[in-house]
């Protein structure tokens, strides 16, 4: 396979996901470009989280192929055919992806610094000093240089989420996934987390995929917005366009409901 | 010869008789333990001094081996002129030991009944004895039946300790048979299997009971 | 009960032992009883070590092992929980020689009690591991850790904290069941109390002293485990630690 600059960073190709008889994602096609920032919006239960979790290999897929950086992730090529991926292959592709969870999922028995050096040391095999330097830089980046020695329980929700972002970044991913990273936070704490994401977007060459309910943020930050409805992308486009003049009726309904709620 | 069937058939009736002793000891002790446990639980919740004494007693019993408690009763009671046969002394020791465990279970059950139930009865001018007996206990007992059931099984598995004071229950009988015939494999293995089967059956029964009780309380 | 009141109880028990030992001729029982207590402690400590190891191994096999190991673990747990500790000891002690397997009584004691308590411990370990939130596993996947790395560095340390109190109870159970080894000819504390009683007939002081010694050992375990729990929770719970 040859390197091509314009091949997408992530490609969902006819991806289907079912839970029992419930089809959550119905042969989804979605390309995400290198360095692109894509916001996913949509009503509850429309499959937004599922998209991210499948990309993070937290869920098996029932059909289709996910490509990452030009390589099939869920499958691998063997004798010219695509076969389901082995653990080793998954691990290699997974190293390009980082994820931040709605409920942080920090390791409660480790300090902020401990959380950030754990995987670099055990997975990447960095020596402690190097891992600590990297973690300290990242904690500074998210504005928590002073809180290195604090345990998650000693941090506010916003601070915990910023540690979680630093932890994911410490693995130097090319793609970052954010699943409603502010929805477990009090409104006044959302700002600090969004600020960090903004900074990441402008300073780093990361591909970002975020599920969010914060339309304002999506509008200002994303290059593209995808509206999900019942496991399908109902409408997508530039934020200005999609938010001001949605074409699809469902999108209109959804945006109206969201705006009313605010 | 690894397993002697002739010998097995010969000792089975003897072991069956011993099994009856084991089962008698189990149920008799458990019955007393249930009553004693309730008394201890009530004592622990009544008044600071009585409560503390009862708690200390429970703590002491739960912190020391059942075997030495059996010896203690068996050898000490005669000092006070109370001469008991081994079976009775053993039953008393088992009852006290498990009574203390049961008291913990009762306490948890009683504490789980909402305070409002007591208050409602006070408001209705029902006497506290009546409240306890007719209102509180009927609510406290069903949720703790499985926990008590587990102690029944535990008690059953502790009855072999009575062999230490020569009560002819299953294990002592097996031991005697073994030393008479210079062959322990069959009697000890049979006893082991008997315990295994009975405990597994009881475990299933308790799980069944638990499900039934849960279903009722959800409704 | 909190650590201070447990410590007070421990002190009271120690004083009671000292007072009882000093009164009358009771002092002559002390060397024998202490010797027995020392053996009890040794069996309990080695037995607890064995119990923790087998419990962890059995739980891991049951949760993550291939089918044959899983079945082996289930059988082990159900078998040892289903039969009584004394039957297991007697079986090891009386029946194995029929098959030409002879073991030191100490080995029999440690093996019997350790495996017995280990079977109960396996369920504690399993519960502890399963009690760790799923999000923790997901975070380790997102950080590309292997399952074994996740288990060792993230899941087990958290499960450990939740397992401390139930293990404290199991250690006490094991300590108490060491008394059973007196029935397979070992001179532990219970055995010493019995023999001293047989030839002196000073039943009440001897057995009271022995009971108090067991109480001291149990309380030591309880206090130790409480301390361990508090120490491992440091930082993990709001309002504690730094
Ligand atoms: N483990 C599961 N088992 C069964 N059904 C599931 C499971 N996980 C998700 N689902 C279902 O899949 C659908 C999509 O879920 P998903 O979490 O992707 O929704 P979402 O768009 O993220 O919603 P929200 O905005 O509420 O987070 C839902 O209908 C949900 O009930
Ligand atoms: Mg979601």
What is the pLDDT, as a whole number, of residue C198? 87
Question: Does the pLDDT at position B219 exceed 60?
Answer: no
CATH number, domain of C199, equals 1.10.3720.10
Quick one: average pLDDT of B53-59? 90
* Residue C13 three-state SS: helix
Using a CB–CB cutoff of 8 Å, tell me whether C179 touches chain B: yes
Interface pTM (ipTM) of the complex? 0.89
Which of these, B188, B166, B7, lies nearest to B90 by C-alpha position?
Answer: B166
Confidence of residue C97 (pLDDT cuts 50, 70, 90): confident
Q: How far apart are CA A26 and CA A16, in angstroms?
A: 5
Quick one: average pLDDT of C82-109? 89
Q: Which of A58-67, B139-148, B188-197, B208-217 has the lowest mean pLDDT?
A: B208-217
Quote the ligand 2 centre to A152 CA distance (angstroms). Answer: 23
Q: How far apart are CA A54 and CA C142, in angstroms?
A: 11
- C48 belongs to a structural domain: yes
Distance of residue B7 Cα from the nearest chain C Cα, in angstroms: 15
Pocket test of ligand 1: the residue of A21, A45, A258 to mutate, having most ligand atoms within 8 Å of its CB, is: A45
* Residue A88 three-state SS: helix
Q: How far apart are CA B205 and CA C22, in angstroms?
A: 52
**Contact call for residues A75 and A83 (beta carbons, < 8 A):** yes
Question: Does the pLDDT at position C72 exceed 50?
Answer: yes
Query: Domain containing C217: what range?
Result: 33-233
- C8 belongs to a structural domain: no
Query: Which tokens in the block code for residue B176?
Result: 């005697």
- C13 belongs to a structural domain: no
Question: Does the pLDDT at position B184 exceed 60?
Answer: yes
Confidence of residue C138 (pLDDT cuts 50, 70, 90): very high
Which of these, B87, B99, B98, lies nearest to B163 by C-alpha position?
Answer: B87
Quick one: average pLDDT of C14-37? 92
Quick one: average pLDDT of B78-82? 85
What value does the mean pLDDT of chain C take?
A: 91
* Residue A73 three-state SS: coil
**Contact call for residues A114 and A149 (beta carbons, < 8 A):** no
Q: What angle do CA B120, B126, B131 make, to 5 degrees?
A: 75
Q: How far apart are CA B22 and CA B25, in angstroms?
A: 5
Q: How far apart are CA B85 and CA A145, in angstroms?
A: 75
Quick one: average pLDDT of C152-172? 93
Number of other residues whose CB lies within 10 A of the CB of residue A252: 13
Low-confidence stretches of chain A (pLDDT beneath 70): 1-6, 262
Query: Per the structure, how many domains does chain C have?
Result: 1
Which of C64, C134, C139, C149 to mutate against chain A (most A CBs within 10 Å)?
C139
- In whole angstroms, how far apart are CA B54 and each of A98, A162, A187, B155, C116? 58, 53, 53, 21, 31
Question: Does the pLDDT at position C8 exceed 80?
Answer: yes
Distance of residue A164 Cα from the nearest chain C Cα, in angstroms: 10
* Residue A227 three-state SS: strand
Query: Per the structure, how many domains does chain B have?
Result: 1
What is the pLDDT, as a whole number, of residue C240? 40
Give φ, ψ of A248 to 5 degrees.
Answer: -80, 145
Q: How far apart are CA B69 and CA B67, in angstroms?
A: 5
Using a CB–CB cutoff of 8 Å, tell me whether B167 touches chain C: no
Query: Domain containing B118: what range?
Result: 5-218
Q: How far apart are CA A24 and CA A22, in angstroms?
A: 6
Half-sphere exposure (Cβ direction) of A114: Cα atoms closer than 13 Å:
14
**Contact call for residues B140 and B103 (beta carbons, < 8 A):** no
**Contact call for residues B44 and B55 (beta carbons, < 8 A):** yes
Burial of B108 (0-12, 13-18, 19+ CB in 10 A): middle
How many CB pairs below 8 Å do chains B and C form together?
113
Query: Which tokens in the block code for residue C59?
Result: 């739980």
Q: How far apart are CA A214 and CA C111, in angstroms?
A: 61
- Percentage of chain B beyond pLDDT 70 is 98
Question: Does the pLDDT at position C238 exceed 70?
Answer: no
Q: Return the sign of the alpha-carbon dihedral for residues C178, C179, C185, C189.
A: positive
Q: What angle do CA C211, C215, C217 make, to 5 degrees?
A: 120
Q: How far apart are CA A132 and CA A121, in angstroms?
A: 9
Number of other residues whose CB lies within 10 A of the CB of residue B107: 21
Query: Which residue is listed with tokens 């092992």?
Result: C65
Helical ranges in C83-239 per DSSP H: 85-90, 105-130, 134-142, 147-149, 156-177, 189-200, 203-233
A94 contacts C242? CB cut-off 8 A: no
Query: Which tokens in the block code for residue A152?
Result: 């998650």
Query: Which residues, other chains included, contact B79 with Cβ-Cβ below 8 Å and sequence gap of 6+?
Result: C203, C204
Q: How far apart are CA C222 and CA B2, in angstroms?
A: 45
Which of C142, C149, C163 to mutate against chain A (most A CBs within 10 Å)?
C142
Confidence of residue B68 (pLDDT cuts 50, 70, 90): very high
What is the pLDDT, as a whole number, of residue A38? 95
Quick one: average pLDDT of C219-224? 94
- C115 belongs to a structural domain: yes
Question: Does the pLDDT at position B203 exceed 90?
Answer: no
Question: Does the pLDDT at position C241 exceed 60?
Answer: no
Distance of residue C141 Cα from the nearest chain B Cα, in angstroms: 36
Specify the DSSP element, H or E, that contains B93: helix B86-112
Question: Does the pLDDT at position B130 exceed 90?
Answer: no
How many CB pairs below 8 Å do chains A and C form together?
75
Cα first-last separation, chain A: 49
Ligand 1 binding pocket includes A58 (Cβ within 6 Å): no
Query: Which tokens in the block code for residue C56?
Result: 């962890």
Which of these, B58, B20, B17, B30, lies nearest to B153 by C-alpha position?
Answer: B30
DSSP state of C95: I
- C14 belongs to a structural domain: no
Using a CB–CB cutoff of 8 Å, tell me whether C37 touches chain B: no
Q: How far apart are CA C162 and CA B150, in angstroms?
A: 22
- Percentage of chain C beyond pLDDT 70 is 98
**Contact call for residues B154 and B99 (beta carbons, < 8 A):** no
Number of other residues whose CB lies within 10 A of the CB of residue B121: 18
CATH number, domain of B80, equals 1.10.3720.10
What value does the mean pLDDT of chain B take?
A: 88
């Amino acid at each position: 396979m040859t390197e091509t600059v314009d091949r997408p960073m992530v490609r969902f190709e006819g991806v289907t996901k079912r839970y029992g008889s419930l089809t959550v994602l119905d042969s989804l096609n979605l390309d995400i470009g290198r360095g692109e920032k894509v916001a996913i919006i949509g009503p509850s239960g429309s499959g937004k989280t599922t998209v991210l979790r499948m990309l993070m290999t937290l869920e098996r897929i029932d059909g289709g192929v996910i490509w990452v950086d030009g390589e099939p992730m869920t499958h691998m090529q063997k004798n010219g055919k695509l076969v389901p991926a082995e653990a080793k292959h998954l691990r290699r592709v997974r190293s390009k992806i980082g994820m931040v969870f709605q409920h942080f999922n920090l390791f409660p028995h480790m300090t902020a610094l401990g959380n950030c050096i754990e995987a670099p040391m055990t997975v990447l095999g960095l020596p402690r000093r190097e891992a600590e330097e990297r973690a300290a830089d990242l904690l500074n980046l998210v504005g928590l240089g002073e809180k290195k020695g604090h345990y998650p329980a000693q941090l506010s929700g916003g601070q915990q989420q910023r540690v979680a972002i630093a932890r994911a970044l410490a693995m130097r991913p090319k793609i970052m996934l954010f699943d409603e990273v502010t929805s477990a936070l009090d409104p006044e704490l959302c700002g600090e987390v969004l600020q960090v994401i903004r900074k990441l977007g402008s300073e780093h060459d990361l591909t970002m995929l975020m599920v969010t309910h914060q339309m304002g943020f999506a509008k200002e930050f994303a290059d593209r917005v995808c509206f999900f409805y019942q496991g399908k992308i109902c409408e997508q486009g530039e934020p200005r366009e999609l938010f001001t003049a949605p074409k699809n009726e469902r999108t209109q309904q959804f945006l109206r409901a969201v705006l009313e709620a605010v | 010869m690894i397993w002697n069937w002739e010998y097995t058939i010969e000792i089975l009736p003897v072991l069956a008789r011993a099994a009856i002793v084991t089962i008698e000891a189990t149920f008799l002790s458990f019955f007393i333990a249930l009553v004693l446990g309730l008394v201890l639980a009530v004592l622990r919740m009544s008044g600071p001094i009585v409560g503390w004494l009862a708690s200390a007693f429970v703590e002491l019993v739960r912190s020391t081996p059942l075997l030495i408690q059996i010896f203690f009763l068996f050898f000490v009671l005669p000092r006070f002129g109370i001469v008991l046969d081994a079976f009775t002394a053993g039953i008393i020791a088992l009852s006290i030991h498990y009574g203390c465990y049961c008291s913990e279970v009762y306490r948890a059950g009683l504490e789980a009944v909402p305070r409002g139930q007591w208050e409602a009865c006070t408001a209705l001018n029902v006497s506290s004895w009546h409240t306890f007996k007719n209102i509180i206990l009927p609510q406290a007992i069903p949720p703790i039946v499985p926990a008590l059931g587990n102690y029944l099984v535990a008690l059953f598995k502790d009855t072999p300790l009575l062999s230490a004071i020569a009560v002819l229950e299953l294990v002592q009988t097996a031991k005697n048979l073994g030393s008479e015939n210079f062959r322990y494999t069959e009697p000890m293995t049979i006893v082991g299997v008997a315990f295994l089967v009975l405990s597994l059956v009881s475990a299933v029964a308790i799980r069944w009971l638990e499900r039934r009780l849960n279903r009722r309380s959800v409704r | 009960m909190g650590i201070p009141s447990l410590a007070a109880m421990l002190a009271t028990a120690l004083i009671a032992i000292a007072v009882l030992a000093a009164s009358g001729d009771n002092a002559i029982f002390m060397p024998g009883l202490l010797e027995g207590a020392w053996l009890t402690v040794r069996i309990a400590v080695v037995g607890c070590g064995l119990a923790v190891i087998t419990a962890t191994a059995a739980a891991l096999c049951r949760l993550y092992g291939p089918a044959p190991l899983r079945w082996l673990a289930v059988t082990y747990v159900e078998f040892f929980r289903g039969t009584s500790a004394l039957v297991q000891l007697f079986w090891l002690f009386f029946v194995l020689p029929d098959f030409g397997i002879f073991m030191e009584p100490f080995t029999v004691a440690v093996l019997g009690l350790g495996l017995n308590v280990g079977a109960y411990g396996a369920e504690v370990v399993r519960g502890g591991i399963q009690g760790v939130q799923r999000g923790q596993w997901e975070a380790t996947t997102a950080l590309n850790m292997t399952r074994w790395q996740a288990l060792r560095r993230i899941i087990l340390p958290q499960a450990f904290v939740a397992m401390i109190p139930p293990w404290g109870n199991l250690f006490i159970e094991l300590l108490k069941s060491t008394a059973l080894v007196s029935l397979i000819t070992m001179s532990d504390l219970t055995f010493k109390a019995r023999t001293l009683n047989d030839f002196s007939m000073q039943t009440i002081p001897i057995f009271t002293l022995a009971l108090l010694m067991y109480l001291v050992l149990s309380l030591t375990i309880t206090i130790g485990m409480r301390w361990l729990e508090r120490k491992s929770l440091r930082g993990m719970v709001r309002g504690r630690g730094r």
